[in-house]
Amino acid sequence: MPLSFASLYVLWYHFSVRECARVQCQSTHWNTVLVEKAKLAHRQYSPTIWGINRHSQTITCTIVSLMEWIWSKPIFYKREEIRGWDGNLQHLDWVEEVLPDNLADAQPICILVHGLGDDRFHPTVMRMARICINRGWRVVVWSYWRFDFSESRDLEGVLQHIGNKAPHSPLIAVGWSAGGHLLLNYLGAVGKNTPLVCAAAISPATDFVQHGKILREEENLFYMKFMGINVQKCLRRHVHNDSRIKDRQAFLSRFSMFDLDALNMYDTFLHTSPSDTHLGDFTTRRRKSMEAGARQSTKSSAPQSTVFENYPKAAQVIESIKIPLLVVMAEDDPVSQPHPSTLEEFQRNRHVILLTTQRGGHVGFYDGFLPFGSTFDARCVTDYVGAVLETLSHTSYILNIMKEAARQGILGDASSVTKDEGGHEAFKAAGPSATLGPSAASTLQALGPVMMRRIASDTNFKGLALDKIH
């Protein structure tokens, strides 16, 4: 009898649980190349056979996966501290060694952004660090502490610092959950003006208000309480690191140690945290959200989350993302299930590839008989990044050939384009004395990973004159 039940369970698992990941994106040449190179459309996801539901993936498998680090080679970090935009220190935890100044090589660098209340020792972060190191990439964890998930200037400063130290290295960012919210906000704020060549967000939070309401009304109370514990951790981490808070005890006295209402604590923090003097787009939006909250409080006798309800959300800036981005989500995510309109925004953006599975929970995606080793999402992300780097490498190779041809005088002016018999654009034929125009030649001499990304991911790159790229 037990054998029959096991056989039926295996058959049910094979035909009903195992699934192919669903890829949704705009049908551009760039996206097609990446999906095919990374084999995203042919990915079979087989959840851990005894932990297939969302709660098991989110909680049980995560706890069991901690056992792996009893025998696995540990990840060692070395911390680098840099001065942020507000004078506070930002913490960069490099795997094995701190990045030296003026690095000459072009080894890719992966910047990891952990989730709410997590740190560099979270198993998800360490697994991703391990798989990236095995691929030959440098890895750094941005151990952020600011309890403001719509503030993008910290990440902007971190990436600028790393880009200055390693000008020839492609930079990649990966964020989970609340870290994904920070990453999406940053990408929406800067557009194309970023040193990143690509990014990935795994189970990203896109609207804290919506996620919080779903947790309160539809999900198990455990998730809301656990989020409250992590919010308490974030609050104290911020107070410890923010030098603008002079009387820390007085500031913390406004919050109850036993208050586990995450939304209420975040709203209170946004009311009371020190204001800054540098007004950027997001800071202006924060001020407007406070003004909107004040107006609402005059109309309602019991206002709730007056700042929080109107605070900037990652879902509002998805259309402004202008670099290649992979988003990995599970449809059964119990914590950060996006609104249907947010999914539509992802699908409309030609720079975004959305990869979804029916199962996987929140930052879970465990597969195999035991939840050890790399997870489904980590493999998808690293293969996607590898596909981007491979494509950029091919682009660099072709353009370097063009640069050498221009130096030898065997390539016509890049701005001289004619139509061939098929109506396609082509360079004019030129003799040995022909050279590239001055602006095109200077562009070729300044090629780097960011320029590679702009050229390769441009869907209109058909016979495009190089001196028009900016």
Return the exposure string of 316-354: e unless at least 16 CB atoms fall within 10 Å of the residue's CB, then b.
Answer: bbbeebbbbbbbbbbebbbbbbbeeebbebbeebbbbbb
The answer on 324 and 285 residing in a single domain is: no
* The pLDDT of residue 427 is above 60: no
Q: Residue 8 falls within a domain, yes or no?
A: no
pTM for the structure as a whole: 0.84
Report the alpha-carbon distance of residue 293 to residue 288 in Å, rounded: 8
Is residue 1 in some structural domain? no
Distance CA 445, CA 96 (A): 34
Q: Do residues 81 and 91 make contact, with C-beta atoms less than 8 angstroms apart?
A: yes
Q: Residue 428: what pLDDT? A: 45
* Among 391, 420, 437, residue at a domain's last position: 391
How many other β-carbons are positioned within 10 Å of the β-carbon of residue 10? 11
Local confidence band at 213 (pLDDT 50, 70, 90 cut-offs)? confident
Give whichever of 182-191, 312-321, 406-415, 446-455 has the largest mean pLDDT. 182-191
**pLDDT (0 to 100) of residue 420:** 47
> Does one domain contain both 275 and 186?
no
Q: Between these two residues, 338 and 112, which has the higher pLDDT value?
A: 112
Q: Which amino acid is at 179?
A: G
Q: Are residues 224 and 347 in the same domain?
A: no
Query: Which one is predicted more confidently, 80 or 263?
Result: 80
> Is position 5 within any domain?
no
Q: Do 330 and 455 fall within a single domain?
A: no
Q: Are 114 and 122 in contact (CB under 8 A)?
A: yes
> Does one domain contain both 358 and 416?
no
Look at the alpha carbons of 216, 219, 221, 224 in this order and tell me if their dihedral is positive or negative: negative
The domain total for the chain is 3
Say if strands 325-330 and 196-202 run parallel, antiparallel, or are unpaired.
parallel
Residue 412 pLDDT class (50, 70, 90 cuts): low
Residue 85 lies in a domain: no
Q: Which of 151-155, 185-189, 375-379, 454-458 bottoms out in mean pLDDT, i.e. has the lowest?
A: 454-458
Write out the DSSP string of 293-323. Answer: HHHHHHH-SS--STTGGGS--GGGSGGG--S
- Please determine, for residue 441, whether its predicted confidence score (pLDDT) is greater than 60: no
Strand 77-83 and strand 89-95: the pairing is antiparallel
> 299 and 326, same structural domain?
no
253 assigned to some structural domain? yes
Same domain for 291 and 145: no
Q: Are residues 304 and 452 in the same domain?
A: no
- Residue 194 pLDDT: 95
Across residues 114-136, what is the average pLDDT?
95
Dist. CA 451–CA 374, nearest whole Å: 32
pLDDT digits (tens, 9 = 90+) for 375-394: 999 999 999 999 999 998 88
Q: Which two tokens mark 116?
A: 């709410």
pLDDT of residue 361: 94
Q: Which of 165, 189, 184 is nearest to 174 (CA)?
A: 184
Written as six digits, the tokens of 217 are 């009304």
Of 88, 85, 114, give the one whose Cα is nearest residue 241.
88
**What is the longest distance spanned by two Cα atoms in the chain?**
85
> Of 348, 360, 398, 334, nearest to 124 (Cα)?
360
Range name among 257-266, 345-354, 444-453 with the lowest pLDDT average: 444-453
Higher pLDDT, 30 or 412: 30
Evaluate whether residue 53 is within a structural domain: yes
In the predicted structure, residue 283 carries a pLDDT above the cut 70: no
pLDDT of residue 157: 95
Q: How confident is the model at residue 276 (pLDDT cuts 50, 70, 90)?
A: low
Task: Identify whether the C-beta of residue 369 lies closer than 8 Å to the C-beta of residue 65.
Answer: no
Of the three residues 310, 345, 379, the one that is the final residue of a domain is 310
Domain boundary among the residues 285, 310, 335 is at: 310
Q: Do 284 and 361 lie in a common domain?
A: no
Domain match, 386 and 433 both: no
* Confidence at residue 425, expressed as pLDDT on a 0 to 100 scale: 42
Distance CA 263, CA 258 (A): 14
pLDDT value at residue 267: 83
Over residues 105-128, mean pLDDT:
94
Mean of per-residue pLDDT scores for the chain:
82
Task: Please give the share of the chain, as a percent, with pLDDT higher than 90.
Answer: 54
Indicate whether 409 pLDDT > 90.
no
Average pLDDT over residues 343-354: 95
pLDDT bracket for residue 466 (50, 70, 90)? very low
Average pLDDT over residues 288-296: 54
Quickly tell me which residue has 């656990």 as its tokens: 226
Mean pLDDT of 148-175: 93
Among 21-35, 158-172, 403-417, the range scoring the smallest mean pLDDT is 403-417
CA 274 from chain centre, in angstroms, equals 27
Residues 6+ apart with CB under 8 A from 5: none
Which tops the pLDDT comparison, 322 or 256?
322
**377 and 460 fall within a common domain:** no
Q: Cα 398 to the chain's mean position, in Å?
A: 29
SS3 call for 393: helix
Tell me the residue ranges of DSSP E strands in 349-453.
352-357, 417-419, 425-427
Q: If you compute the radius of gyration of the chain from its CA atoms, what whole number of angstroms results?
A: 24
- Tell me how far apart the alpha carbons of residues 178 and 184 are, in angstroms, rounded to a whole number: 10
Together in a domain, 324 and 177: yes
| Interatomic CA distance for residues 240 and 260, integer angstroms | 20
The first and second tokens of residue 193, run together, are 């003006």
Q: How far is CA 348 from CA 27, 312, 437, 453, 457, in A?
A: 10, 21, 37, 20, 16
Least confident of 89-103, 274-288, 306-320: 274-288
What is the tens place of the pLDDT at every residue in 7-61?
A: 888 888 888 899 999 999 999 999 999 999 999 998 999 999 999 999 999 999 9
Strand ranges (DSSP E) for 268-424? Answer: 325-330, 352-357, 417-419
In a domain, 240, yes or no: yes
Q: Is 13 contained in some domain?
A: no
Instruction: List the domain range (segments joined by +) for residue 298.
Output: 209-310
Burial of 407 (C-beta count, 10 Å sphere; 0-12/13-18/19+):
middle
CATH for 113: 3.40.50.1820
